[in-house]
Amino acid sequence: MEVRARAPGKVILAGEHAVVHGSAAVAAAVDLYTYVSLRFPTPEDNDDELKLQLKDMALDFSWPVGKLKEVMPELGCNPAEIPLYSTEAMKAIASLVKEQTIPEDMSGLISGLSAFLWIYTSIHGNKPATASVSSELPLGAGLGSSAAFCVALSAALLALSDSVQLDFSPQGWQMLGISELDLVNKWAFEGEKIIHGKPSGVDNTVSTYGNMIKFTSGELIHIKSNMPIKMLITNTNVARNTKALVANVSKRVLRHPASMASMFNAVNSISNELADIIQSPILDDLLITEKEEKLGELIEMNQGLLQCMGVSHSSIETTIQTTSRYKLSSKLTGAGGGGCVLTLLPMLLSGTVVDKVIAELELNGFKCFIAGVGGRGLEISFMGSL
């Protein structure tokens, strides 16, 4: 029996950085996915290892189940009850990760492997299995790749446990019920904590449930989009330091409290108006065009304020200058300082124009994706028989 789970990445449509200071922000699922497949060996396989295959990186990791028993004797739990991970457990996991050969330029994988081992052993103990991971999401670009991994992994593991009720017949991708999604989201959040320390929970929530979320001061409100939204996502391939960028905005707040407060209030209004536009009913295509024009203006306003906060970058400005020549609206998404840029693609925009924009952007060494925004969340499928 093999289960496959897929979870989408996310983009921030409005409100990044300002949300740290109490403003509203809007995040949305994007139809670029991370896939995790999980298979338990049959007795005939004579396999006694836990294996993790990272297909996109051509990297394989494995741990003999005997080693797992030796290092972590207290394994497995009721998957419906998420355990607290202890210092001893994390030390044991660190020792298991340390034994693996990880390329020097991929040291960021250490936290991901730790999250994998903790979630897997917490749900399935020391069973042998093979987990394979592939993704359409670039790593470390602010599109929620780690959250999508944790969501898809948690879903695959829970699907082959006794804690969820599912239809195992092969019938393509299927969505989970709310109670199952809630459980997946809780496990994924624990994985995100191992990877990031103190995540907001927004990335894994968007990846789990899909569509859109408006969040303010820790409060999450699910939003249902009533209009199709398509974005050109440009990965500048410029690495950014999220903590440093957030800290620099906070320094500006200390130096210019009144001015920065005004900017945060403006961003709050932009996020709320954007959410209202997306949720309002559509009666005809003319109204869609009008909505797209308003969204484009809000995107440009938000980007202008992000520039004032000091979180833009020459690569982001190059992208915006390129897309503006075609009268398209763009903004950074996430931390800024590089990373990715969103460009709204109106419904009536010709494919020829899109091709020209992409060609120009890729001359700068950027990577472009076209993706729908606000779509489905986590889905699973089954292959083989019980």
- Which one-letter amino acid corresponds to residue 353? V
User: How many C-beta atoms surround the C-beta of residue 262 within 10 A?
Assistant: 12
Report residue 312 as tokens. Answer: 């833009």
- Could you tell me if 185 and 100 are in contact, meaning their C-beta atoms sit under 8 angstroms apart? no
Is 105 known to be catalytic? Answer: no
**CA–CA separation, 284 and 290 (whole Å):** 10
For CA atoms 131, 132, 138, 143, the dihedral sign is negative
Closest C-alpha to 270, from 243, 297, 252, 232: 297
User: Three-class SS of residue 173?
Assistant: coil
Report residue 363 as tokens. Answer: 């001359």
Q: Which residues contact residue 341 at a Cβ distance below 8 angstroms, ignoring those fewer than 6 apart? A: 233, 234, 236, 316, 319, 320, 330, 331, 332, 333
- Could you tell me if 60 and 53 are in contact, meaning their C-beta atoms sit under 8 angstroms apart? yes
Rounded (10°) angle between helices 178-196 and 109-124: 140
Report residue 248 as tokens. Answer: 């620099």
Closest C-alpha to 317, from 306, 327, 27, 326: 306
Our CA angle for 113, 117, 118, nearest 5°, is 115
Which alpha helices (H) appear in the chain, and where do they start and end?
65-71, 87-98, 109-124, 145-159, 178-196, 202-209, 242-255, 257-279, 285-309, 314-324, 351-362
- Could you tell me if 6 and 23 are in contact, meaning their C-beta atoms sit under 8 angstroms apart? no
Q: Which of 60, 203, 276, 285 is catalytic?
A: 203
> Which residues belong to the active site?
203
